[in-house]
């Protein structure tokens, strides 16, 4: 069946339905595009023969919106939307956002804080016996007891906090279908304790014997060391081949996470992306100006899932997993043909990517049978000797996309792992990337230059970025193009001291890089970096980690990365003074800033003294 799914009772009745099988509740405006998780899950359910209604951004101040379809025959699926509702509402500085890319009109405030909890409690208030399954990013990353940056405390599993019956973690298609079919067969959701990719709760006396148990909610609340241990266990078992059941006690009940659901095969991925998406926001939003979030992805193609890069600050490894799967070339070309027939298509495919654009296969053969290595990374601090690198299939797809009638340009805008790219002995892809797939600027993510900080991030050392940038500009020159690199940088990541921030500022100055934006580290649920932020411990070594936690300490580091901005003069001067780097304040070409008028003589004298000390040391 084509067309948008019903969004209200009138839509349901127009289809000739008296009721629905499932109501899918989301904190986003309804966009029927495969870049939106809500769209994928609802289309999958529809394809399996279920009647599905979409309840988008319901009014949470009453229960009226939740009863408009009546009680669904089988149950409710609940998500906050494409991102965590707290991240949608608050900046890294914990300030309220005024815009929301996933809301019609772009204005914030159309969903509640902790949307999954709020929606679920309202549903249980009016339909206490109706099964409620929570999923999406917010539920997936909060499935265990977790540090919550906004409350600055440990919160219990969102499954317990919300009162839902089952939690689906990861991408969700397979477990969603299994849950639906078993509910349809009359099975009680309370008895569904064996579905991969789900979490359930049970009395402690019914805890399964198998698996591993991580420190309890009570223990992680009272001990940061126990929290760090818990984090490591959860990260290490996030593998569909070797991962084990994980248990975590919450008082007199046990949270049980079943093993991860295996990722979709190529055939299954092709099927998911072949479903009849409208590839647009619901027409009812037109008067509001549409949904901004679709602009970047409307003419983009997702070709892969999973990321073995597994940066410590990124949630993808804990949500999608590190195992990479991809769609077939045929499936991608069919989608591209569909794009060319869309009325607003101007000839530009904006992206052919995914979590990491240039991953098309698992990182090595070993993991096919044994899973990804526990406690190790495929690319950091150096690439694993077993790493398999091959861009030939990806390049073949891009070449054929460029040949499609009506396609003028095919860009790659999602992240490129330049460290992986450099490991390819064949530079054909690198050269064609530069020549054909960069829209003036290529965005890459060195994040920092300090080796100590990059190790805490799980990123390659800066020498790799320098090597990449030299080859990038060499190939750009050979192609006679004027193109640039836009490096993403992060300030105040756990492990980054003031001295590290100064080191980064000097690196930027030396390389003539002036970032327009700098991202403060954002402690979102479910990442290793957030664990380090809260505990001030590295969960893999249990060594102490320095963390800039106060707003002022963060501001000092952020200002150093934009030392050239006159607005940051006072903060940069304070930071350099605090680090006793008076040698970097002055008029010499090696200085970061000139001294302020009121401190001119003081800093000149101290800079001279610092220079004399350095000469004596030599």
- The angle subtended at Cα 527 by Cα 525 and Cα 532, nearest 5°, is 100
Asked if residues 347 and 312 have their Cβ atoms less than 8 Å apart, the reply is: no
Helix-strand-coil split of the chain, %, nearest 5:
40, 15, 45
Asked if residues 72 and 20 have their Cβ atoms less than 8 Å apart, the reply is: yes
What φ, ψ does residue 283 adopt, rounded to 5°? -60, -20
CA distances (Å), 276 to each of 1, 236, 340, 346, 378, in order?
8, 37, 16, 22, 36
Burial of residue 471 (CB within 10 Å: 0-12, 13-18, 19+) is middle
pTM of the model: 0.94
What pLDDT was estimated at residue 1? 40
Whose tokens are 């390389």? That residue is: 511
What pLDDT was estimated at residue 517? 83
Q: Which residues have C-beta within 8 Å of that of residue 584, sequence separation ≥ 6?
A: 502, 506, 576, 590, 591, 592, 593
Burial of residue 97 (CB within 10 Å: 0-12, 13-18, 19+) is middle
Asked if residues 387 and 365 have their Cβ atoms less than 8 Å apart, the reply is: no
For the CA atoms of 373, 379, 380, 385, the dihedral, rounded to the nearest 10 degrees, stands at: 70
What pLDDT was estimated at residue 516? 85
What pLDDT was estimated at residue 483? 94
What pLDDT was estimated at residue 361? 93
pLDDT tens string 359-403: 999 999 999 999 999 999 999 999 999 999 999 999 999 999 999
What is the spatial distance between Cα 171 and Cα 139, in angstroms, rounded to a whole number?
A: 11
Q: What is the DSSP letter of 265?
A: P
Name the helix (H) or strand (E) containing 219: helix 217-222
| Alpha-helix runs per DSSP H in 511-550 | 528-535
Q: Cis (ω within 30 of 0) for the bond into 563?
A: no
What is the spatial distance between Cα 491 and Cα 250, in angstroms, rounded to a whole number?
A: 35
What pLDDT was estimated at residue 598? 62
Query: What is the CB neighbour count within 10 angstroms for residue 95?
Result: 9
Q: What is the DSSP letter of 99?
A: B
Whose tokens are 């100055």? That residue is: 509
Collapsed DSSP state (helix, strand, coil) of residue 414:
coil
Residues in the chain with pLDDT < 70? Answer: 1-2, 598-618
Cα dihedral sign for 135, 141, 145, 146? negative
* 234, two tokens: 């959860």
What is the spatial distance between Cα 584 and Cα 228, in angstroms, rounded to a whole number?
A: 38
Collapsed DSSP state (helix, strand, coil) of residue 165:
coil
What pLDDT was estimated at residue 415? 86
pLDDT tens string 520-566: 999 999 999 999 999 999 999 999 999 999 999 999 999 999 999 99
What is the spatial distance between Cα 334 and Cα 533, in angstroms, rounded to a whole number?
A: 45
Which residue from 213, 218, 215 is spatially nearest to 252, judged by alpha carbons? 218
Q: Which residues have C-beta within 8 Å of that of residue 186, sequence separation ≥ 6?
A: none
Q: Cis (ω within 30 of 0) for the bond into 381?
A: yes
């Amino acid at each position: 069946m084509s067309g948008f799914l019903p969004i209200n009772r009138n839509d349901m009745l127009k289809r000739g339905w008296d009721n629905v099988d499932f109501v899918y509740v989301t904190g986003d405006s309804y966009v029927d595009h495969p870049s939106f998780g809500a769209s994928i899950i609802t289309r999958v359910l529809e394809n399996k023969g279920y009647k599905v209604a979409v309840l988008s951004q319901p009014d949470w101040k009453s229960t009226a919106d939740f009863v408009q379809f009546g009680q669904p025959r089988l149950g409710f699926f609940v998500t906050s939307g494409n991102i965590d509702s707290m991240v949608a509402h608050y900046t890294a500085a914990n300030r309220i956002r005024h815009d929301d890319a996933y809301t019609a009109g772009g204005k914030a405030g159309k969903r509640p804080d902790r949307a999954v909890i709020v929606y679920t409690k309202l549903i249980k208030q009016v339909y206490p016996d109706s099964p409620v399954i929570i999923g999406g990013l917010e539920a997936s990353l909060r499935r265990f007891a977790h540090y919550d940056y906004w409350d600055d405390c440990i919160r219990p599993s969102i499954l317990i906090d919300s009162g839902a019956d089952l939690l689906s973690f990861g991408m969700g298609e397979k477990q969603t279908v299994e849950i639906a079919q078993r509910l349809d067969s009359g099975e009680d959701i309370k008895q569904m304790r064996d579905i991969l990719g789900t979490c359930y709760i049970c009395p402690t006396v019914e805890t399964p014997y198998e698996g591993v148990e991580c420190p309890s909610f009570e223990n992680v609340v009272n001990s940061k060391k126990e929290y760090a241990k818990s984090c490591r266990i959860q990260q290490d078992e996030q593998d569909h081949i070797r991962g084990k059941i994980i248990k975590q006690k919450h008082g007199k009940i046990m949270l049980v996470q079943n093993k991860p659901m295996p990722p979709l095969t190529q055939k299954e991925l092709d099927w998911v992306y072949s479903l009849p998406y409208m590839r647009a926001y619901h027409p009812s939003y037109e008067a509001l100006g549409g949904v901004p979030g679709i602009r970047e992805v409307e003419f983009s193609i997702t070709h892969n899932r999973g990321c073995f890069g597994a940066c410590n600050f990124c949630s993808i490894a804990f949500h999608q997993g590190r195992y990479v799967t991809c769609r077939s070339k045929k499936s991608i070309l069919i989608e591209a043909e569909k794009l060319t027939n869309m009325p607003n298509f101007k000839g530009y495919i904006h992206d052919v990517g995914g979590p990491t654009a240039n991953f098309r296969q698992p990182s090595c053969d070993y993991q096919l049978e044994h899973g990804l290595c526990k406690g190790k990374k495929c690319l950091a601090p150096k690439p694993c000797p077993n790493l398999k690198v091959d861009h030939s299939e990806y390049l073949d797809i891009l070449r054929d996309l460029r040949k499609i009638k009506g396609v003028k340009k095919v860009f790659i805008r999602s992240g490129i792992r330049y460290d992986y790219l450099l490991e390819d002995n064949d530079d054909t892809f690198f050269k064609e990337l530069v020549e054909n797939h960069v829209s003036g600027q290529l965005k890459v993510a060195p994040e920092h230059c300090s080796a100590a900080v990059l190790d805490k991030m799980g990123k390659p050392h800066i020498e790799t970025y320098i090597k990449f940038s030299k080859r990038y500009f060499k190939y750009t020159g050979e192609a006679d193009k004027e193109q640039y690199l836009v490096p993403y940088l992060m300030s105040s990541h756990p492990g980054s001291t003031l001295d590290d921030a100064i080191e980064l500022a000097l690196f930027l100055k030396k390389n003539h890089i002036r970032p327009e934006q700098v991202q403060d580290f954002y402690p979102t649920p479910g990442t290793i970096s957030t664990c380090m932020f809260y505990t001030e411990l590295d969960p893999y070594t249990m060594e102490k980690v320095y963390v800039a936690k106060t707003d002022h300490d963060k501001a000092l580091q952020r200002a150093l990365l934009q030392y050239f901005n006159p607005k940051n003069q006072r903060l940069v001067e304070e930071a350099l003074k605090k680090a006793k780097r008076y040698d970097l304040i002055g008029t010499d070409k090696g200085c970061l800033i000139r001294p302020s008028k009121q401190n001119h003589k003081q800093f000149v004298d101290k800079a001279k003294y610092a220079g004399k000390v350095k000469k004596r040391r030599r």
